[in-house]
A and B are shown apart, each in its own frame.
Chain A
Amino acid sequence: MEARIARSTVVAPLAGGDHGRVATDSREPAVEVVGLTKRYGAVWALAGLDLSVERGECVALLGPNGAGKTTTVEILEGYRTPTAGSVSVLGKDPGRAGEAWRARIGIVLQDATDQGLLTVGEVVRHFAAYYPSPRDPEEVIAAVGLVEKRSTRVVGLSGGQRRRLDVALGLVGRPELLFLDEPTTGFDPEARRQFWELIAALRKDGTTILLTTHYLDEAEHLADRVAMVVAGRVAATGTPASLRSGPTVVSWRDAGGALRREETATPTQFVTALAAHFGGEVPELAVQPRTLEDAYLRLLSAEGALA
């Protein structure tokens, strides 16, 4: 197992983010959003979203499709203007911020098919030239595991490789704050694990990261904090552990042969009572801590977002 992991780790280390030298107030949050709303025609995509991301923190926006994750990120990136609410990203209003502000953020787009006729190397080198202190393009290409594809035209990349190029273009400007909109969609499990390693390395360098995902394991693995977005609001926020914490899940098969599942704050008492009920062994008994998925699904059904 260990050997397999070691061999598969083609991700090269990335030089430091060097954000210590940045003459900005690192005590103020990287992202501060209060009462954000966004309306498209008659549809409210965001209905009063609050969010705060500290410097150096990795926060995951978790939620079903259409919950408002992408709209939120696009407002923070400066692409869209909110209908109401206050937004501050690295101390600026993204809607009015200029080139100097854009040099400090990195954006990984969700559904791009651009730059197809250029090679991976050409694209990364070209975009590096836009930034005042970019990362070494070769280093970034290595970091996303595309060294062998350096001279391949972008149209010739697989879906997963294309996404890794998107990540490379988000990183090349040495951003203080990196936006990742569903970064691992279309990745195979191996590419996903490599991507997680890359994000872990960036976090170590102090890069602030805001990502959206609908993979629970991804949020749990990467994020310091998870904000669950449901129907244009943050329905719950906290560390993955705190969101998970709560009742224990006890499951068993009842006399009728159906699989039963109960959440309880007093599992010992519950199991004792269950044992008494069965007069001994409980069929297929399992006692487990609540998973993030349990918490997530409960939240969705409570908000009526689950059909």
Chain B
Amino acid sequence: MSSVALAPTPHGTPAVPSWRRALGIGWLRVGVELKELVRSPMALMFTVLFPLILFVIFGSVFTGYVAPGVTFSQYFAAGMIASGAFYAGFQNLAIAVPLERDNRTLKRLRGTPMPPAAYFIGKTGSVIAVYVVQVALLIGLGSLFGDLHPPAAAGQWLTFAWVSLLGLAATSLCGLAASGLIRRSEGAAAIVSPVVVVLQFISGVFFQYNHLPTWMHDIASVFPLRWLALGMRSVFLPARFAAFEPGGGGWQHGLTAVVLAVWAVVGFVVAARRFRWFNEPRGQAFSPRRRRGTMSP
């Protein structure tokens, strides 16, 4: 057994500061996340292709105008771009993280010197990648076959950037929070997908928001998708459409930012309290204290 001469690096004294280590390893995690995404037909189908298929089907069935000079296809494209943040952040993480907990990815990582922040950096990379690809494809399809016009003014792109960032933060943190509340990965999709679909129905993605009953507005306004969709309409629809928005009209950017930020904070607090690197052993699952507040599919 020949000993190979090695540089005398003592264990446990990383030469680089911890935040730089977290960033460096986080960057490697982004690579791993993207590799896994590209190699997983299921994940690609659910997070990237599914919204496009929906867009094509709905866009072909519902034609006509939602307001003078604004087609349904335009309106729907803005809603689907807003939904993209939900697919990339909420649905992606709330399904993938419980899966990684069940197959011991998280337990293994927790047993290594990987800084925990690196894992979340990797997830951020995967969320942004999915979102960018989705939005690019939706804008591409929308402009080729629909009447979607990518914004021309820099101000609209700025709005698009902050709505996207705040939206992704809110949906991703809520996705992580949900992953902590979901006990077993097999049931994750059954809990998560209906939440997204119902929100899409009541938040003005599948139907025109100003045609929905007021009580539905009241419910939808509590959740982030309604505001995300409004924000995206302010980017992709003509300015005059603002008059058709309920509640006296207007794009309500300030309120949008506040609601999205509040959801980001709520998601963060719940995720910080409930995120688990591994499940408790079976014995503990029967203790009443543990069971409370856990969604069981």
- A and B: real partners? yes
- Chain A residues proximal to chain B, CB less than 8 Å: 13-16, 18, 21-23, 40-41, 43, 45, 71, 77-79, 99-105, 107, 109, 111-118, 122, 126-127, 129-133, 153, 169, 173-174, 176, 201, 204-205
Q: Which residues of B1-18 are within 8 A (CB) of A?
A: 1-4, 6-15, 18
Assembled-state Cα–Cα distance A40/B107 (Å): 19
What residues of chain A lie closer than 8 Å to B114, measured between beta carbons?
Answer: 99, 130
Asked if B281 is at the interface (CB within 8 A of a chain A CB), the reply is: yes
Q: How large is the interface on B (under 10, 10 to 19, 20 to 34, 35 or more residues)?
A: 35 or more
Q: Which residues of B273-291 are within 8 A (CB) of A?
A: 278, 280-281, 283-284, 286-287
Q: Is the CB of A129 within 8 A of B25?
A: yes
Asked if B110 is at the interface (CB within 8 A of a chain A CB), the reply is: yes
Specify which of A13, A78, A130, A176 lies most central, judged by the most chain B CB atoms within 10 Å of its CB.
A130
What residues of chain A lie closer than 8 Å to B111, measured between beta carbons?
Answer: 77-79, 102, 105, 107, 109
B102-121 CB mask vs A (1 if < 8 Å, else 0) is: 01110110111111000000
Q: Is the CB of A117 within 8 A of B28?
A: no
Q: Is the CB of B281 within 8 A of A132?
A: no
Assembled-state Cα–Cα distance A117/B284 (Å): 31
Q: Given contacts A79-B110, A112-B107, A118-B36, could you give 7 more A-B pairs where the C-beta distance is less than 8 Å?
A: A79-B107, A103-B113, A104-B11, A109-B111, A111-B104, A114-B100, A127-B112
Q: Main SS of the interface on chain A?
A: loop
Assembled-state Cα–Cα distance A107/B104 (Å): 12
Give 19 A-B contacts (CB < 8 Å), ordered by A residue: A13-B2, A18-B6, A22-B11, A40-B283, A41-B286, A41-B287, A43-B283, A71-B281, A78-B111, A100-B14, A102-B111, A102-B112, A103-B11, A107-B112, A114-B108, A118-B35, A127-B112, A174-B11, A176-B11
Q: Is the CB of B112 within 8 A of A201?
A: no
What residues of chain A lie closer than 8 Å to B292, measured between beta carbons?
Answer: none
| Known contacts A18-B3, A102-B112, A129-B25: A45-B104 contact under CB 8 Å | no
Specify which of B2, B3, B112 lies most central, judged by the most chain A CB atoms within 10 Å of its CB.
B112
| Known contacts A40-B281, A103-B113, A109-B107: A15-B4 contact under CB 8 Å | yes
What residues of chain A lie closer than 8 Å to B4, measured between beta carbons?
Answer: 15-16
> Of all chain A residues, which has the CB nearest B24?
A129
What residues of chain B lie closer than 8 Å to A174, measured between beta carbons?
Answer: 11
> Of all chain B residues, which has the CB nearest A79?
B278
Q: Is the CB of B35 within 8 A of A117?
A: yes
What residues of chain B lie closer than 8 Å to A133, measured between beta carbons?
Answer: 6-7, 9, 11
What residues of chain A lie closer than 8 Å to B39, measured between beta carbons?
Answer: 117, 153
Q: Is the CB of B9 within 8 A of A132?
A: yes
| Known contacts A40-B281, A102-B112, A114-B108: A132-B13 contact under CB 8 Å | yes
Asked if B32 is at the interface (CB within 8 A of a chain A CB), the reply is: yes
The one of A13, A113, A127 in contact with B103, judged by C-beta atoms closer than 8 angstroms, is: A113
Q: Is the CB of B113 within 8 A of A102?
A: yes
> Of all chain B residues, which has the CB nearest A201?
B1
Assembled-state Cα–Cα distance A22/B11 (Å): 7
Q: Is the CB of A109 within 8 A of B108?
A: yes
Q: Is the CB of A204 within 8 A of B113?
A: no
What residues of chain B lie closer than 8 Å to A14, measured between beta carbons?
Answer: 1
Give chain B nearest CB distance to A265 CB in angstroms. Answer: 42
What residues of chain A lie closer than 8 Å to B13, measured between beta carbons?
Answer: 100, 132
Give chain A nearest CB distance to B42 CB in angstroms. Answer: 11
Q: Is the CB of A15 within 8 A of B2?
A: yes
Q: Is the CB of B104 within 8 A of A109?
A: yes
What residues of chain B lie closer than 8 Å to A116, measured between beta carbons?
Answer: 103
Q: Is the CB of A118 within 8 A of B32?
A: yes
The one of B3, B18, B40 in contact with A117, judged by C-beta atoms closer than 8 angstroms, is: B40
Give chain B nearest CB distance to A13 CB in angstroms. Answer: 5
Q: Which residues of B126-171 are within 8 A (CB) of A?
A: none
The one of B25, B108, B286 in contact with A169, judged by C-beta atoms closer than 8 angstroms, is: B108
Q: Is the CB of A130 within 8 A of B36?
A: no
Assembled-state Cα–Cα distance A107/B286 (Å): 28
Q: Is the CB of B1 within 8 A of A112?
A: no
Assembled-state Cα–Cα distance A132/B13 (Å): 8
| Known contacts A114-B105, A118-B36: A205-B113 contact under CB 8 Å | no
The one of B1, B7, B115 in contact with A99, judged by C-beta atoms closer than 8 angstroms, is: B115
What residues of chain B lie closer than 8 Å to A109, measured between beta carbons?
Answer: 104, 107-108, 111
4 nearest A-B residue pairs (beta carbon): A16-B3, A40-B283, A100-B12, A15-B4
Assembled-state Cα–Cα distance A79/B280 (Å): 10
Give chain A nearest CB distance to B157 CB in angstroms. Answer: 35
Q: Is the CB of B104 within 8 A of A103?
A: no
The one of B12, B32, B108 in contact with A103, judged by C-beta atoms closer than 8 angstroms, is: B12
Assembled-state Cα–Cα distance A15/B3 (Å): 5
Q: Is the CB of B12 within 8 A of A104?
A: yes
What residues of chain B lie closer than 8 Å to A114, measured between beta carbons?
Answer: 100, 103-105, 108
Q: Is the CB of B104 within 8 A of A113?
A: yes
Specify which of B25, B35, B104 lies most central, judged by the most chain A CB atoms within 10 Å of its CB.
B104
Q: Is the CB of A122 within 8 A of B112?
A: no
What residues of chain B lie closer than 8 Å to A117, measured between beta carbons?
Answer: 35-36, 39-40
> Of all chain A residues, which has the CB nearest B282?
A40
| Known contacts A41-B284, A114-B100: A101-B108 contact under CB 8 Å | no
What residues of chain B lie closer than 8 Å to A131, measured between beta carbons?
Answer: 112-113
Give chain A nearest CB distance to B143 CB in angstroms. Answer: 33
Assembled-state Cα–Cα distance A138/B7 (Å): 18
Assembled-state Cα–Cα distance A99/B19 (Å): 13
| Known contacts A112-B103, A130-B25: A41-B3 contact under CB 8 Å | no
What residues of chain A lie closer than 8 Å to B7, measured between beta carbons?
Answer: 133
